[in-house]
Amino acid sequence: MKPSGGDPDFASVVLLLDFAGADGATDITDLSNAARVETFSGNAEVDTAKQFLDENSLLCDGNVATRVTYEPHADFAMGTGDFTWECGVLFSGLTGGAHTFLSNYDAVGAGSWFRWATADEIQWVVYPGVLVKQESWFPELETWYHVAVCRSGTDLRIFVDGVQMGTPTTDSTDMGAGVENFNVGATRASTSPLIGSIGAVRITKGVARYTENFTAPTVFYPTS
């Protein structure tokens, strides 16, 4: 059961996905106030067998076309402010280069990727491919992890299961004007696809939810 309330920053949530639906479904509901409508591409589909925080997940098969996409919107432009991107990720394979969890970048010089690369590193990358932060991480197959990237002021942090990876990186990059799609499971250009599953996606604009080690969530995020 989802919490019925308790998130003082819910108004700042611009995307909230629990992937509810029948197994194999290609239609989901955005639980944020924006209620955005998605497009499923490639072989992306709801998976009821692999659950994170007691909710379904998105099955990503590594095909470059497999992803869920949301139309461009200013809400997805993080600008130079605080933000939090988080989700659950499970790897079914660790080959093929980079595996993107979430991405938003545009053609005018801004945007971002949150991913894992086969050099055993979790990474935050900004357009046009500048590696802002990377930390060593050796995930195991078929294991769920909660991953988060946050910026508070100019301090950028990455967390895995509530543990801060390394030390904060100074970053003041202007991340986008919201002119490109927001993608789950691959980048805008349908590259660097994930082989595995994604669950419990939450994008919070203007709020750095995590600035030190925290207890990773065990139930789905509040929906109000």
Question: Quick one: pLDDT at residue 1?
Answer: 56
Tens of pLDDT, residue by residue over 30-44, are: 999 999 999 999 999
Question: Quick one: pLDDT at residue 187?
Answer: 82
Domains of the chain, each with CATH number or no CATH: 13-205 (2.60.120.200)
Question: Quick one: pLDDT at residue 176?
Answer: 73
74 φ, ψ (degrees, to nearest 5) = -60, -25
Residue 139, preceding peptide bond in cis (omega within 30° of 0): no
**Whose CA is closest to 42, among 141, 178, 183, 180?**
183
Kindly state the tokens that stand for 166. Answer: 């390394």
Which residues in the chain land under pLDDT 50? none
**Cβ atoms of residues 104 and 182 within 8 Å:** yes
Sign of CA dihedral 21, 27, 30, 34: negative
> CA–CA separation, 82 vs 7, rounded Å?
17
Question: Quick one: pLDDT at residue 109?
Answer: 60
Strands 163-164, 67-70: pairing is unpaired
Question: Quick one: pLDDT at residue 183?
Answer: 92
